[in-house]
Amino acid sequence: MKPGAPPLKSTRLLDQVRERNRTMHYSLSTGKVYLYWVRFFIRWHEGHRGQVL
């Protein structure tokens, strides 16, 4: 994340990823891949909350 990036409005992890993707002007396909990998990572860690990881 770049210094000076605006604060995130959402408290949910996947919403934060979506919001940051838009802020960083990533393409829609890049955003979808990022969300896929975040979901995969969470499942791999057996559903632990993002704050715990």
3-state DSSP of the chain? CCCCCCCCCCCCHHHHHHHHHHHCCCCHHHHHHHHHHHHHHHHHCCCCCCCCC
Higher pLDDT, 34 or 43: 34
Give me the residue spans of the domains in the chain.
13-44
Higher pLDDT, 10 or 50: 10
Is 45 a residue whose pLDDT tops 90? Answer: no
| pLDDT value of residue 27 | 96
CA distance 2 to 44: 28
What is the pLDDT averaged over residues 3-16? 81
